[in-house]
Amino acid sequence: MNKVLLIGGTGLVGSRIIQLLDKKFEFIAPSHEQLDVLNPELVLQAVENIKPSSVLYAAGFTNVDLAEGKEQECFALNSKAPGYFVEATKKAKIPFYYLSTDYVFDGEKSDAPYTEDDLPNPLDQVYAKSKYEGEQVVLGASPINSVLRIIVPFSAVFTKKLDLARLFVSKLKNNEKISGIYNQKINPVFVDDLVAALGKILEARASGIYHIAATDFTTPYGYAKTVARVFGFDEGLIEKVDYEDYVKTRRAKRPQDTWLDTHKFRKEFGEGILHTVEEEIEAFKSQFIPK
C-alpha cells in the first residue's frame, strides 16, 4: 500500500485525512512525543526508517492572532520544520506535500479569485509570512513537491476547535446573535471535500501549487445566512459587519478578498470532488456532530 508519513494527524484536517483515506493509503502519523519535527536529525532518521512514498505536512501553528506574539514558534512549525523534511524527502527522492493558506495573498484582488499563477504578497502578519516562507522552502527544494492552499476549512466531526461554521451553529442554535462581514470574498472548504481532493493529488503524485476550496464564493455574512437556512435557524439573528470595522477588533491583520480559483484542480481531476458552498453546508449538516 502507498505509505504516507503524515505530520499533524491530530488536527482539524489531519485527523480527517486518516479517517477518510485509510483504505487507500497507509498513514504513519507520529505524535510530538514520537517525533520532534524541530530536530533535523530525527526528521531525517524518521524518513529513512519509515521509508514512506511521500510526506504530507498538515501540522502548523494555526492561531493567527496568537502568532503575533510568538513569531519564533510560528516560523519554526510553519517554515523551519518543513525545511528539515524537504531535505530528507529530497534525499529519499519522494514528494513533500505542504498544506498552505489563502493568507499568503494580500486580499486586494477583488475582481477575480486568486489563481495558482498569482504572486503571493502576505500582509505584515506573522502567520501569513511564515506560511509563505514555508511555501518557498518547499517549492524551492524540489520540483516534485507540492503546495496545497486551502481557505476557511470546516468540519462536521472535529469537535476540538470551533471553525467558523461550527461557531455559527453553536450560537444560532441558542438564538444568539452573530455577525458576518458582508464585503469580503471567501470560498470556505468542507474538510471532507478537501480530503477527497488530497487523496486524488497523492494518488497521482501531482506536483506544484493547487487551490482547494468551494467552487463558488460567498462572504462571511452569506456563509452565516446559508448555515442558518440549511439548519433551519432564524436568519434574522445575523448582522452585517464591515470588513474595516471587523479587522480593527483583531490583533493580526486580515486580508480582505482571498477567494481561491479552483479551476486548475477541477480541470486535472474532474468535477464532483469540490462543491458549491451550499452543497458543502448540506453535507456538513447531514454529518454534524455537536460538541
C-alpha separations of 57 from 32, 35, 74, 96, 247 in Å = 13, 13, 15, 8, 29
C-alpha separations of 199 from 38, 145, 158, 217 in Å = 27, 15, 19, 23
Question: How far is Cα 239 from Cα 54, in angstroms, rounded to an integer?
Answer: 45
Q: Interaction with ligand NAP in 161-190: which residues (CB under 6 A)? A: 161
7, 58 in Cβ contact below 8 A? Answer: yes
Closest CB 203 distance from ligand NAP, rounded Å? 20
Q: Is 8 in the site for ligand NAP (CB under 6 A)?
A: yes
The residue among 134 and 222 lying less far from ligand NAP, judged by its C-beta, is: 134
Which DSSP symbol is given to 283?
A: H
Residues in the chain: 291
Q: Is 199 in the site for ligand NAP (CB under 6 A)?
A: no
Query: Please, what is the angle between helix 277-287 and helix 220-231, to 10°?
Result: 50
Q: Interaction with ligand NAP in 88-107: which residues (CB under 6 A)? A: 99, 101
Q: Is 11 in the site for ligand NAP (CB under 6 A)?
A: yes
Closest CB 220 distance from ligand NAP, rounded Å? 13
Q: Interaction with ligand NAP in 213-272: which residues (CB under 6 A)? A: none
SS3 state of residue 96: strand
Closest CB 132 distance from ligand NAP, rounded Å? 11
202, 2 in Cβ contact below 8 A? Answer: yes
Which DSSP symbol is given to 131?
A: H
Q: Interaction with ligand NAP in 127-156: which residues (CB under 6 A)? A: 131, 150-153
Applying CB under 6 A, among 6, 12, 196, 252 the residue interacting with ligand NAP is: 12
Q: Show the binding pattern over residues 33-72: x = contacts ligand NAP (CB under 6 A), - = does not.
A: ----x--------------------xxx-x----------
Which DSSP symbol is given to 79?
A: I
The residue among 5 and 59 lying less far from ligand NAP, judged by its C-beta, is: 59
Cα Rg of the chain (Å, integer): 19
Q: How many CB atoms lie within 10 A of CB 258?
A: 26
Beta strands (DSSP E) in the chain are: 2-7, 25-28, 54-57, 96-101, 146-150, 178-181, 208-212, 238-241
Closest CB 106 distance from ligand NAP, rounded Å? 16
Q: Is 13 in the site for ligand NAP (CB under 6 A)?
A: yes
Closest CB 148 distance from ligand NAP, rounded Å? 9
Applying CB under 6 A, among 67, 74, 77, 214 the residue interacting with ligand NAP is: 77
> Which residues of the shown chain bind ligand NAP in the complex (CB under 6 A)?
8, 10-14, 32, 37, 58-60, 62, 77, 99, 101, 131, 150-153, 161
